[in-house]
Structure 1
C-alpha cells in the first residue's frame, strides 16, 4: 500500500509537470506551423474603382484607419494608373485627418518623389504645410496653449512647405490660402520670440530680452511684432543705462510708430512696470 502511494506521489509531482511542458511545446509548434488564422479579405476580386469607392466611403464615415487599409490595398494590387496615384494622396489626407503629422508628411513626400509632374502635386505640398501647421503635442492639447506659446519648430516646417508651394506653383488654387497661412506663421513666430523676451524682462535678464527683440526685427521685419520689439529694446537699454542705444531705438520707434503709447505718453498704469523710464519724458 505504501509503495502505491509513493508511486502516485512521484507521478503527480515529477512526471505530470513534464507532460504539461511537452504539451505546451507541441501546441506552440502547431501554431508556428499552421500560423495564426488569417483575416478574411473583403476586397478579394474587386477592381480598382470599387476599392477606391470603399476607401472614400470610409473617409466619409471618418473611419480613417479602415480607409487607409483600402487605399493601401488598392495601391498594392494596382500599382499603375490614376487610381493608385490618387490613393497615395488619399492616404496622406487620411493621416492628416487623423492628426498624424509625421505619417501625413511622409506620405506626401513619397507622392512628391514618385510623381514630380503630377497635376495635383501642389496639393501634396499643401498637405505637408497643413499637417505641421495644425500639429499640437499632448501638453499643448491639454493646456490649450496659444500658437505663439508652442514650440516654433513645427511652425517653421509648415512655413517651409507652404513656401515651396508658393514658389513652385504660383498659379495653384492653394496659393492664396498658403500665403495667408505664411503671414500668420510669421506673426506667430514673432510673438513667440516676444513672449520669451517679456519673460526675460520680468526676470531682469535684459541682455537676453534684448537679443530676442533684435531677432524679431532682423528675421521677421514685416511681422506685427516689430513695434513691441522696439519697445522692449528701448526698455532693456534704459534698464542697462545705455542711453545712446536707447535714444537711437526710441527715435526709430517714433518715426515708424508715432502713436505708440511709449511715444505719446498715454499708457495704462499697469503697463508702466515695463518701462521705468517713462517718468523721464
Structure 2
C-alpha cells in the first residue's frame, strides 16, 4: 500500500475517531446498538464498532447480546491493530465464559494478536528479518496457539493454529541462531556454542538445526576443543552436506578469528559498520519468511487482514527509484 493511501486512511481514521467520541443516542435499544456495531464491522469501521460494542456492554451487561459483544470486541480490537487490547479482551472473555461454545475463537484471536504484534507499518516497506526481532511476542503466540490446540483439538481453528506453531517454532530457532552468530562475532565462543547446542537439542526438525551444528563446529574450533568440533562437523556433513559452511569437503568458518572491523565499527559496538558486505539471508530465515507468507494466506477469510502479503507466485510491481525513495508518494 502506498504512503499517500496510508495518509488518506490515517486522516479518515482520525476523523472517524473524533466522530466516535460523540455520545451515542441514549435511546438506542440493545438490538439497535448491536445491529449498528455489526454494520460497522462489515464496513471495516472498527473504531466505531469498538465504541458501540463497549457501549452495548456497559448499558446492557446482562442482555442477550452481552457475551457476543465481548467476543466481537476482541475481533474488532484485532482488526483495528490493537494487539494488547485484543489480548486483554480475549483474556476477559475466557475468564468470564470458560464454557462458552465459541471460547476457542477467543483463544485463536489471542494467538493471532500476538502473532502480528511485531509486524507494524515498517514491515510493509522494509525487508525486515523477523529472526532478528524480539522473540517475546512469538513465544506468547506459540503458547497461546498451544493452549488452543490442547484444549480444543477438534476446533475449526486448530489446523491453522498448528501450522502457525510450526512457523513460530522455526522463527524462535532462527532467533537463537542469530544470537549465536552475534556471540561468534564478539568472540564469545562459549556462549555461541551453547546457543547452537540449544537449537540442536530443542528445535529438531527446523531448518536452523544445520546452522546450529555449524555454529557449534566453529565455536569449538575457536576454543581449541577438537573432539566436540569434529563430532559436530561429522554430524553436519552427514545430515546436511549441502550446507553453506561446507565447501569442497572443508568447513569454512563464518567469522574471522581476529576482529577486522574498522575503528568506527569497534568504537560504536557495531552500530556503524563501514565497508561491510550486505547481510546474507540464511536458508532458515528464508524458510521462516516463506512460512509466514503461507500462514497469512491461509488465514480464515472472515478475519483476514487487508495487509496480507501477496503469494509467492504473484508478480511484484516494478517501482522507480523516485517511487522507492518517496515511498510511492510520486508514483
TM-score class, shorter: 0.7 to 0.9
Report 1:225-236 matches (<5 A).
Answer: 225-236=208-219
Matched, 1:162 2:145: yes
Q: Give the equivalent residue in structure 2 for 1:95.
A: 77
Matched, 1:133 2:136: no
The separation in 2 between residues aligned to 1:119 and 1:192, in whole angstroms, is: 37
The separation in 1 between residues aligned to 2:161 and 2:88, in whole angstroms, is: 20
Any idea what SS the aligned residue of 1:118 has? Answer: coil
Question: Mind listing any 5+ residue stretches in structure 1 that lack a counterpart?
Answer: 1-37
Q: Give the equivalent residue in structure 1 for 2:181.
A: 198
Matched, 1:185 2:173: no
- Calculate the TM-score normalised by the size of structure 1: 0.76
The separation in 1 between residues aligned to 2:96 and 2:61, in whole angstroms, is: 12
220, 223, 230: which is aligned to 1:247? Answer: 230
Q: Give the equivalent residue in structure 1 for 2:96.
A: 114
The separation in 2 between residues aligned to 1:97 and 1:172, in whole angstroms, is: 21
Closer, same or farther in 2 for the Cα pair 1:47/1:237, shift >3 Å? same
Report 1:24-39 matches (<5 A).
Answer: none
Q: Give the equivalent residue in structure 2 for 1:274.
A: 254
The separation in 1 between residues aligned to 2:47 and 2:69, in whole angstroms, is: 14
* CA deviation profile, 1:85-112 (whole Å, cap 9, x unmatched): 1110111111111221111111000000
Q: Structure 1 residues 141-150 or 240-249, which shifts more?
A: 141-150
Q: Tell whether the 8 Å contact from 1:140 to 1:150 is kept in structure 2 after alignment.
A: no
The separation in 1 between residues aligned to 2:106 and 2:63, in whole angstroms, is: 18
The CA deviation at 1:67 is: 0.8
Decide which structure has greater helix share.
1
The separation in 2 between residues aligned to 1:144 and 1:85, in whole angstroms, is: 41
224, 231, 237: which is aligned to 2:207? Answer: 224
Which structure is higher in RCO with an 8 Å CA cutoff and minimum separation 6?
2
Matched, 1:74 2:56: yes
Q: Give the equivalent residue in structure 1 for 2:267.
A: none
The separation in 2 between residues aligned to 1:162 and 1:275, in whole angstroms, is: 37
The CA deviation at 1:176 is: 0.7
Question: Mind listing any 5+ residue stretches in structure 2 that lack a counterpart?
Answer: 1-20, 258-331
Any idea what SS the aligned residue of 1:274 has? Answer: coil
Closer, same or farther in 2 for the Cα pair 1:261/1:154, shift >3 Å? closer
Q: Tell whether the 8 Å contact from 2:30 to 2:63 is kept in structure 1 after alignment.
A: no
27, 31, 44: which is aligned to 1:49? Answer: 31
* CA deviation profile, 1:142-162 (whole Å, cap 9, x unmatched): 865222111011110001100
Closer, same or farther in 2 for the Cα pair 1:119/1:173, shift >3 Å? same
The CA deviation at 1:264 is: 6.6
The separation in 2 between residues aligned to 1:153 and 1:225, in whole angstroms, is: 19
Q: Tell whether the 8 Å contact from 2:190 to 2:219 is kept in structure 1 after alignment.
A: yes
Tell me how many residue pairs correspond in the alignment: 236
The separation in 2 between residues aligned to 1:40 and 1:260, in whole angstroms, is: 63
The separation in 2 between residues aligned to 1:68 and 1:96, in whole angstroms, is: 11
- Calculate the TM-score normalised by the size of structure 2: 0.65
Any idea what SS the aligned residue of 1:56 has? Answer: helix
Rg comparison, structure with higher value: 1
The CA deviation at 1:72 is: 1.3
The CA deviation at 1:138 is: 6.8
The separation in 2 between residues aligned to 1:248 and 1:272, in whole angstroms, is: 16
